[in-house]
Structure formats: structure tokens, C-alpha cells
Amino acid sequence: MIRVGIIGGSGYAAGELVRILLNHPDVELKWVHSRTVAGQRIVDVHQGLHGEIDMSFSNTIDLKNIDVLFCCRPAGKTREFIETHTIPEDLKIIDLARDHRIEDGSHDFIYGLSELNRKPMVRGAKHVANPGCLAMAVELSLIPLAKNLLLNSDIHTTIVTGATSEGAERRPTTHYAWRNDNMVVYRPFAHPQMPEILQVLRAMQQSFDSQIHMLPMRGSFSRGIMAVSYLDCPLELTEIIRIYSEYFADHNFTFITSKIPDLKDVVNTNKCIIHLDKIGGKLLITAVIDNLLKGGAGNAVHTMNLLFGLQETTGLTMKATGY
């Protein structure tokens, strides 16, 4: 059994992580740490887990009795944690924050996009940085093109995200009265996940120097991300579909569909569903994911499966809430 510990256990991603791990056949959840709700029962915070777990949030951290640590604390806190704790040599760490997503020489974390970096994760990596949820949707939309050196024009991307993308911390833009029946653009052209998107695309296509014009928007729904991108592409649609289908053929969670997807096709799953269309000279790419699963906890468990040599889909077979 893989012994698991979680720090930052009170947030949305951590709650989904606990839910998945409780049903994972090869996992023993040893403890869930939280500084803010230590001592409280987990089900009093993550109420959807009633009847599934009888455990309280820990106020202590024992790194010697676990095999993998999931870090679900805010940005900057994982790096701080590593600097202030003695980390066992063999402990694997999966960071869901953005502390280690940029490969800048200051750490040994592998970027946890399995559709790009599965081999290093299987071949002995110890530390993995989970991609950001917006970045995940954009990267999966574009990496087959980058692999085939087809990113040769500016890219325009509109992304609509659910309220849970902002985390569990209460703020005005997550209040029901504001969010319901409402939409707003935020951080246009300068989203903090842009650097990791550029890093991924340039790693695959070194000649890529075009602009990505990204417009994130807050949507009036709880969870899910829809990313709609368009760019110039000279190929016929049938050839583009072939390129995407071949790229994702041996990956277990990303699928090409002939139907324009909606969020309910992926919410509550670890899937990414992509639709391709060609209108004039423009390639239109629509991608949908669940921000808390494929864009968060689900991908983190997928990463764990790779690190420990398990079948990739173990614990991650979930049905979309289509109705």
C-alpha cells in the first residue's frame, strides 16, 4: 500500500483528493494536516465525505510514515515547507501549487503534465509539480500542434472557469449573489499561469515565438473549465484530427470528439475532451476539463500512479455528471 499524507487539507482540491484516495485500492491515507481546522473532523469541512471517513485533521506532520506527500497549500507555501522541514530522501512530493512549475534550476520538480512528461515520472522522478488548471486546458489544446511544429501564428484563447477555480477561501467574486447570473473578464493577457504554458509549448516547438492572447473569464457555475482557442493553420481538418488522435492515442484521459463538448461531459471526471473545427483558414479548438480533477486532484493522483508504477487509471474511473 502507498502511504499518503496531505498538507493544506481544508481546500477544494484537497477535499477531492481525499475523496479519490479513499476509493483507491492501493492507498492508505495516513493523515490530513491543516493549520486552520486542526482537530476538526474531516467530514465537518468536506461534508460530502460523510460515511466514508472517520478521521480528524492533524496538527502534526510525520513525514517518516508516508511514501508520498500531496501539498495543497497556497502558492509559495510548498517551497517554504520544504525549506523548513527535513524531507526524507525517498519521500515523493506532489505539489498542487505553482511553486515548482517553472524549470528555473532551483529545484528538481518535474512538470506534471503526463501527456508530455510521462516518461520521466515513470523512470524515477521523486518530485512533481501539478499544472495549473487553466494551463492544463490550454496545453492539452495545443501540444499536438507544437509537436508537429504547427504553432506559427498568434493564438487567441478565451477561457471560462467555475467558482471553485478560485479556491475555498471566501472572497467577493465567489459569493453566490455576485457569481450567479454573472460573468466577468479577469487578468486579461497576463494570467499567472501563462509562463508555464509558454514553457511547455517552447519545449516542444523551439521555434515558437508567437503571442498567446488569453482572456480568462469567471463563469456562473461551480466547477469546470472551457477553453476555446483559434489560430491560423494550413492543414485540412481531417489531417488535424489525425494528428490529435495519434498524439493522444496512448493517453488514458484525453479524447477527441466529433461533437462540441460541454462542461457536463467532464465534470466529476479526470477527462479532457477536445473538439476540432476548421472555419476558413482558422483552426478552432474547444477543450473542457473539470478544474478540481483533471486540473487538480485527479491529475495529482494520476501522477502518483505513474510515480509508483501503477496502471494510470487506477482510482480514477469516474462518471461525468451529465444529468
pLDDT in tens, 81-99: 999 999 999 999 999 999 9
Report which DSSP code applies to 85: S
| More confidently predicted of 273 and 190 | 273
Q: Is 133 a catalytic residue?
A: yes
pLDDT of residue 166: 65
The number of C-alpha atoms within 13 Å of 84 and in the hemisphere containing its C-beta is 7
- The end-to-end CA distance of the chain, in Å, is 35
Grid cell, residue 217, equals 473569464
Contact at 8 Å (CB) between 288 and 298? no
Q: Which of 71, 72, 133, 272 is catalytic?
A: 133
**How far out from the chain centre does Cα 47 lie?**
23
Please identify, in words, the CATH class of the domain defined by 133-289: alpha beta
Give the Cα separation of 196 and 151 in Å (integer).
16
pLDDT of residue 169: 63
Dump pLDDT digits (tens) for 58-70.
Answer: 999 999 999 999 9
**pLDDT tier for residue 76 given thresholds of 50, 70 and 90:** confident
Q: Check pLDDT > 80 for residue 258.
A: yes
Q: Check pLDDT > 90 for residue 153.
A: yes
Grid cell, residue 52, equals 466514508
Dump pLDDT digits (tens) for 168-215.
Answer: 566 677 677 777 788 889 888 989 999 999 999 999 999 999 999 999
CATH number of 2-131+296-308: 3.40.50.720
pLDDT of residue 168: 57
Measured CA distances, 145 to 159, 229, 247 (Å): 19, 12, 10
Grid cell, residue 12, equals 477544494
Give the Cα separation of 193 and 132 in Å (integer).
6
Backbone angles phi, psi at 278, to 5 degrees: -125, 120
Give the Cα separation of 311 and 7 in Å (integer).
25
pLDDT of residue 218: 92
With a pLDDT cut of 70, the percent of the chain lying above it is 97
Pairing of strands 282-289, 272-279: antiparallel
pLDDT of residue 165: 73
Please, what is the angle between helix 194-204 and helix 114-122, to 10°?
70
Contact at 8 Å (CB) between 229 and 155? yes
Average pLDDT, whole number, for the chain? 93
pTM of the model: 0.94
3 state DSSP class of 16? helix
Report which DSSP code applies to 251: -
| Residue limits of CATH 3.40.50.720 in the chain | 2-131+296-308
| Residue limits of CATH 3.30.360.10 in the chain | 133-289
